[in-house]
Amino acid sequence: ERALEVRMSRRVAGAWRWTDARQAVFRPRRYWPAGQRVTLLAHTAGVRSAPGVFGAADHVAGFRVGPSRVSVVDVRRHRMTVRVNGRPVRSAGISAGKGGTRAYTTTSGVHLTMAKGDPVVMTSDWMGVTDRKDPRYYRMEVRHAVQISGSGEYVHAAPWSVGQQGRANVSHGCVNASPEFARWFYDQTLRGDVVLITGTDRPLEWNNGWGYWQIPWTRWVTGSALRKPPTTPRRPRT
């Protein structure tokens, strides 16, 4: 961790956490400030990573944080509201997981948008159902799909459930939306945007996709080898 340095144009408290034996993730205490420039400096030249293996060079990478885009999905009210920089810009009826079993229950908690595709092929393989004769079997292409968990939850267009959207939860766990709203959300979404889902009894696991915000800050810090939250230094002016 000491070989990795995060710099921002504004000072932010954050900490690394080892998520497994090979991966460390840096997370600020609160959501990344909108519009900030972030630079990662990996001082890896000469760093021993394995017996007889040393880093050959340092590496620098950077990005700029987009606008604050937080979408709240209220499963009980069958509603999704999108806020940009704190201001509500769209609200629409949705249909979430129908429940009855854990597999069909949408996970509650802080999700981050991971990827998107148009179309995405969804199948019942995740349930172990591959026999076409099984009534639970399905295979379909869905449009304007935005992935929000590693277990296959998406916000996507579902023209077949428009009549239930805003009224009932009928999906296998995804957030179903109208084709028009799904297309708009797909076009607006940037990777890492927040989708906060409330109203179910199945919490998102912290290691399900990018569920890192599910870990309270005090516990997140204990997963760091440094044992204390560093404050990112300001990015030098140019």
For the chain, domains (ranges, CATH) are 4-30+32-66+216-222 (2.60.40.3710), 69-204 (2.40.440.10)
DSSP letter, residue 136: T
As a whole number of angstroms, the distance between CA 232 and CA 38 comes to 10
Residues 49/55, Cβ–Cβ less than 8 Å: yes
Query: Which position has the higher pLDDT, 236 or 55?
Result: 55
Compute the average pLDDT of residues 8-32. Answer: 88
Q: How far is CA 196 from CA 45, 81, 90, 117, 199, in A?
A: 40, 10, 15, 21, 10
As a whole number of angstroms, the distance between CA 26 and CA 41 comes to 12
Positions marked catalytic? 156, 174
AA identity, residue 9:
S
pLDDT tens figures, 160-208: 999 999 999 999 999 999 999 999 999 999 999 999 999 999 999 999 9
Return the SS3 of 74.
strand
Confidence (pLDDT) at 2: 61
Confidence (pLDDT) at 46: 86
Q: Which residues contact 50 (CB under 8 A, 6 or more apart)?
A: none
In sequence order, what are the beta bridge partners of 115?
147
29: Cα separation from own chain's centroid: 16
8's tokens: 């921002």
pLDDT tens figures, 55-112: 888 889 999 999 999 999 999 999 999 999 999 999 999 999 999 999 899 999 999 9
